[in-house]
Structure 1
């Protein structure tokens, strides 16, 4: 389906230069001279490479419809990830490139994920928006730093590092955004 260049939104999949791309970030830009355009950061669904492209409203791009099915992550064997379809119980194995380096650290056993298919070929894995993890190590609070909102570095149980508020200590369970690894809130469990 053809859409206008300025109708691209984050998460959309488009066909551009003969490849499938997911829009990661968009920026509306209106320079003082010339027409407005949309600066789009794209990520190739097959190779994971990134591309920054400008689209004007007069340009048309092909929006791709992907089939999305629910899967459960079973286990990791080197660079291979095994998933089970929650309806048919069929298992598929994908390379770690299907998720991306930034998000692979948040993949946990038995996690429910969505896998995008294009013409019956698995293209990418979508993790849940947030995961709950325990803080293993957090820097102590420095007195006098509470005048302004400040964050301190912390290490999570999966080895990822993030910034947390001063009141979070080791052993606390927190909710983390899987897209960028940022702190969301203290877990309610």
Structure 2
């Protein structure tokens, strides 16, 4: 609901120029890369699903904090950590999927990911309405609550995947 609107948020709330916003977005893959390496290393002793749950929860906390943070430097750190933590565990999620889904139905599961991309686009429309009605920061709070609902579903996977440890 909010990802598409981060450039406008930084432009309107903090007066960042388009080049500054682009620099901010260009630095995000570097953060994702560093955090992905750390997540993979930590998954060996801790397990993949606990690391996934931690990174998701941390990301949600960052987004929620963005609703209240005022200093631009703090907002930028929260933004980079939100995106980095949310995306750094995707390789771990993919590896669990490959471990637990039989080969003959993996294509169906991958097709379901396409459906999630569609719902992501639809949620951007809802985010636009929320931003128009209540502002960016309230949209961050609402999105955080939606993420919490999704995270609570992922928590059910913790006991089911307790033996899913990196080798």
Q: What range is the shorter-chain TM-score in?
A: under 0.3
Q: Which structure is larger by alpha-carbon Rg, 1 or 2?
A: 1
Q: TM-score, normalised by structure 1?
A: 0.20
Q: TM-score, normalised by structure 2?
A: 0.21
- Structure with larger RCO (C-alpha < 8 A, sep 6+): 2
**Higher percent of residues as helix:** 2
